[in-house]
A and B are shown apart, each in its own frame.
Chain A
Amino acid sequence: MRRRREKKKDKRKKDFAGVLFLLPGFAGVVCFTLLPFAEVIKRSFQSAVTAKWVGWTNYMTVFTNTAFRMAAMNTLRFTSVCIPLLVALSLVLAVVLQKLRAGKNLLKSMLLIPVAVPAASVVLVWKVLFHSNGLLNGLLLKLGAQKVGWMTSGAAFSVLVVSYLWKNLGYDMILWLAGLAGIPEDIYEAARVDGAGEWKCFTRITIPNLLPSLYTITVLSFLNSFKVFREAWLVAGDYPHQSMYLLQHLYNNWFRELSFDKISAAAVVNAIVVLALILVLRRSWERE
């Protein structure tokens, strides 16, 4: 009896210690993120200058705002094009790379370098590549094709897509490789003994075993997709061609106008969308 109580006491002590370890960092998170975010939720129901309670007005203003609709559509279009493309491409790369014998590490390093390269240090390269008199158009002319207005037409969207793929292909490939390394080799051997070919092994063993990784990889790719704003801003500034005008551009411009009411409402909507996506993806993969 006494022993039991001692054990219980010990456990409580342990709990307390865990909280102590967590506390300093958690206090910072509360102070710099949680509390101010609560303030933003409050502000999203208030007018910007007088802080008068205005109900859903700010949300209405945001949803009917054409710039917001355009930026949201672009962001949505961008993620729905890029993420499947990136996830699939990096999977193919990881599977191929894993099977290679020679040069595997060198190729891996080369594909991974963009993760480390600061966007600002290649901004000149991007400008020279995609300028209307730039290298890419020079190549097109040589091949007998027409010039493309990379920064001044709808093609700007593809510049964005290419930048994102360039930056994240290696990153996602590493994630897939980690997933692949977790599949025990003997499953493959057993299947081969039973006469399964490469393709069958891939569809019946590799793909099902990688499904749990798919969730994290999709979520992380989604997270990284917001950072493509850097490349967009670096090459095209605050007001780029409208096909690459993203939510971050809009928020920056609202910020400069001090439209805190609009940003508050938009940030809350944005947070809800991100949260919903994380939870939906999580739920759907847990069910598998």
Chain B
Amino acid sequence: MTKKFVRGITYLPLILLAGVICFPMLFAATGVFMQQWELEDYLAPVLAGADGMASWPLLPHAPTLRSLVELLLDSPQFFVMFWNSLKISLCILIGQTVFGVPAAWGLARFEFPGKQAVLLLYIVLMLMPFQVLMLPQYLVLDRFRLLDTHAAVILPAVFSTFPVFIMYRFFCGIPEAILEAARIDGAGHLQIFFRIGIPLGAAGIVSSGILGFLESWNMIEQPMTFLKTKSLWPLSLFLPEIGLAEVGLGFAAAFMMLVPALLLFLSGQEYLEQGIAAAALKE
């Protein structure tokens, strides 16, 4: 009896915490269904400095998709930014796969002099914050005349070492016996890589891809530093520019940014968790 009671009690703080953590997303989601006037009604003390305090209903008073429709139909600017975000994230994803998968395979399944040093270097680089790499990347992009192009944001991210490290952990987990058997059957390095490595390490590639996409979809510092022209900006820089006067538009745009990330999360949560955990497992 008491044990059951204790177990019941532990749910309470957990549910409360989960509720608090999900609140911002719920808040953002309710906002999409309100029109400008309804939002202004609730948020006037914040938006216009009116007296009193802002309030927020559990459900919209007059639910409508008007803001979203307006955003999608009447804001060409939004489409440009959305496309920019998508283009940047997808290019990074492809680049990380093309360069990262072989690199991870090489590090995981071969012995060569200097391998440990390269591995340590990759770990250190993946832990370096952007503030350390900002100027070096700026200098090299400047030299290649890539500043203020999408390549300035894409290229450094393609060669980020974090995805390589994640995939490396997964590739290390493939049993050597399988590779040995293939070698005895006369398979070459490329054959082993494509026929065994990639299929058996697929979970790692997907995990690193999901983490990588979320990271680049969310990117703020890099475009802020390397892109000057507004028409090249991704959504993440466009959103804070929307003033509180257009708060309806702001909620709709935020929603459009949230949706791809959430869909990816919901469909690939298992891989996402595996990818996160890959970094924590013992070497």
Contact = CB atoms under 8 A, between A and B. Distances in A.
Interface of A: 14-26, 28-29, 31-33, 35-37, 39-40, 93, 96-97, 100, 103, 107, 109-129, 131, 133-135, 137-138, 141, 166, 169-171, 174-179, 182, 212-213, 216-217, 219-220, 222-223, 226-227, 229-230, 233-234, 247-248, 251-252, 255, 260, 263-264, 267, 270-271, 274-275, 278
B236 A118 contact: yes
B269 A109 contact: yes
Q: At the interface, is chain A mostly helix, strand, loop or mixed? A: helix
B235 to A, nearest CB: 7
Contact of A120 (B218, B264, B279, B282): B218
B2 interface: no
B209 to A, nearest CB: 14
Contacts of A36: 135-137, 139-140
Given A103-B11, A118-B257, A175-B279, 18 more contacts: A18-B111, A21-B102, A21-B110, A26-B103, A29-B121, A29-B159, A32-B156, A96-B14, A117-B24, A117-B262, A120-B239, A122-B25, A227-B129, A233-B220, A248-B221, A251-B134, A267-B135, A274-B132
B106 A120 contact: no
A131 B193 CA distance: 55
B65 interface: no
B136 A178 contact: no
B22 to A, nearest CB: 5
B112 interface: yes
Interface residues on B, range: 35 or more
Contacts of A169: 21
B139 A25 contact: no
B133 A33 contact: yes
Contact of A124 (B111, B251, B272): B251
B58 to A, nearest CB: 13
Interface of B: 10-11, 14-15, 17-19, 21-22, 24-25, 27-28, 31, 43, 45-46, 49-50, 52-56, 99-100, 102-103, 105-107, 109-113, 115, 118, 121-140, 155-156, 158-159, 161, 164, 189, 193, 214, 217-218, 220-221, 224-225, 235-237, 239-240, 244, 247, 250-251, 254-255, 257-258, 261-262, 264-265, 269, 272-273, 276-277, 279-282
A22 B102 CA distance: 6
Given A112-B273, A120-B220, A134-B46, A28 B27 contact: no
A222 B250 CA distance: 32
B112 A18 contact: yes
A19 B139 CA distance: 28
Contacts of A141: 53
B212 to A, nearest CB: 13
Contact of A274 (B106, B127, B237, B276): B127
Given A21-B110, A134-B54, A113 B14 contact: no
Contact of B115 (A18, A112, A127, A230): A18
B159 to A, nearest CB: 4
B106 A125 contact: no
Contacts of B193: 21
B106 A124 contact: no
A184 to B, nearest CB: 13
A244 to B, nearest CB: 15
A175 B280 contact: yes
A33 B272 contact: no
Nearest to B155: A32
Given A230-B220, A247-B131, A114 B21 contact: yes
A127 B27 CA distance: 12
B110 A14 contact: yes
A22 B106 contact: yes
Contacts of B54: 128, 131, 133-135, 138
B112 to A, nearest CB: 4
Nearest to B106: A21
B254 to A, nearest CB: 4
A24 B110 CA distance: 16
A124 B236 contact: no
A145 to B, nearest CB: 13
B264 A116 contact: yes
B133 A22 contact: no
B165 to A, nearest CB: 11
Contacts of A32: 137, 140, 155-156, 159
Contacts of B254: 120-124
Contacts of B220: 119-120, 230, 233-234
